[in-house]
A = this chain, B = another copy of it.
Amino acid sequence: MAVYTDITDEELAELLADFDLGAPLSLKGVAEGVQNSNFLVETETGRYFLTIYERTVAEDDLPFYLGLMRWLAEQGYPSATPMVDRNGETLKRVRGKPCALISFLSGLSVRRPTAAHCREAGGGLARLHLASAEFPMTRVNNLGHAYWAEMFAPLTQDAENLKPGLAAVIEGDLAHLAKHWPQSLPVGTVHADYFPDNVFFAQGRFCGTIDFYFACTDALAYDIAVALNAWCFEPDGSFNITSARALVAGYEAHRPLSPEERAALPVLAHGAAMRFFLTRLLDWGLTPAGALVKPHDPMEYERKLGIHRSTPDLVLFGEAS
């Protein structure tokens, strides 16, 4: 949650003058997003998010994110869409920082997803993959499997501080993942952060996806693996196989998996747990003691790694082994 950049009524009016969205009626800073500043803007024509991109988002990647959001909306996929100004631009600037005006998407994210939510979420993810199938831009997954060993190298001491002996265990995981990582799965545009906060529901039905600022080009089934970790663990750390089956079934109702994709789910889920463990470990180390904003606990993903390590067929739902 964050508003890093302040904005005045005059700056808002100046920005809106480039668009055909009418005069501003209200402006509220929104406590949402950890990488950018968000404002809810009401104009005579509707409601929009004004997102101001802070330094943590690479400016070179913004055309990909904004292009993807516009593409998805044009395909009828329910997602927030950047507005174009009178010159056809979506990427604007305010206070010297890049920004975009993005349509407001209604919907509530669920804190404790049920199996029914997981089925809906799986369907929403498959529809995202289908809607982006012809999207012409690409972006390397710079938090993907090829980068994990170099991401971990400077963090071994942090891992030891978290839990003595953990560094060697992570090294073992990394070797296992490097050896078994699938090389020929169908590739496309993945959300790469399809967590419950980023998925909206209305009356229990999937109604939209937000926050495409990790989207990239990678194996489609990797997105399912990220989602299995994010949606199907109980608060006590146990894996809910019913929820996982529902998520995959919801996905396959729109886009059936190939046998290779299905067989790869365990190693993909193990790897997806590694990706979030590594970034949380990094953020944990960077946060000064006593900081107001607590980063996500890396131990949550350390436990998920442990489960995938010890029960490698878990996400095949007991069908294998």
> Does A131 touch B at the CB level, under 8 Å?
no
Q: How far is the CB of A177 from chain B (nearest CB, A)?
A: 34
Alpha-carbon distance A82/B58, docked complex (angstroms): 43
> Does A153 touch B at the CB level, under 8 Å?
no
Pick from B25, B31, B111, B292: contact of A9, CB under 8 Å: B111
> Does A59 touch B at the CB level, under 8 Å?
no
> Does A107 touch B at the CB level, under 8 Å?
yes
Say whether B40 contacts A107, CB under 8 Å: no
Within 8 A of B (CB), among A13-59: 23-32, 40, 42
Pick from B107, B110, B292: contact of A291, CB under 8 Å: B292
B-chain residues with CB within 8 Å of residue A10 when the two chains form the complex: 111-112
Say whether A25 contacts B106, CB under 8 Å: yes
A12, closest chain B residue (CB): B108
- 1/0 per residue, CB under 8 A from B, across A103-122: the answer is 00011111110000000000
Q: How far is the CB of A9 from chain B (nearest CB, A)?
A: 5
Alpha-carbon distance A32/B32, docked complex (angstroms): 12
> Does A321 touch B at the CB level, under 8 Å?
no
> Does A140 touch B at the CB level, under 8 Å?
no
Alpha-carbon distance A112/B291, docked complex (angstroms): 32
Q: How far is the CB of A36 from chain B (nearest CB, A)?
A: 13
B-chain residues with CB within 8 Å of residue A274 when the two chains form the complex: none
Alpha-carbon distance A107/B27, docked complex (angstroms): 8
> Does A203 touch B at the CB level, under 8 Å?
yes
Pick from B2, B24, B202, B291: contact of A108, CB under 8 Å: B24
> Does A3 touch B at the CB level, under 8 Å?
yes
A203, closest chain B residue (CB): B23
Say whether A25 contacts B292, CB under 8 Å: no
Alpha-carbon distance A107/B42, docked complex (angstroms): 9
B-chain residues with CB within 8 Å of residue A110 when the two chains form the complex: 9
Q: List 24 A-B contacts (CB under 8 A).
A: A1-B3, A1-B31, A2-B31, A8-B111, A8-B112, A9-B108, A9-B109, A9-B111, A10-B112, A12-B108, A23-B203, A24-B108, A25-B107, A25-B108, A26-B106, A26-B107, A26-B200, A27-B108, A28-B31, A28-B32, A30-B30, A42-B106, A291-B292, A292-B292
Report the 5 A-B pairs with minimum CB-CB distance, sorted nearest first. Answer: A29-B31, A8-B111, A3-B31, A31-B31, A26-B106
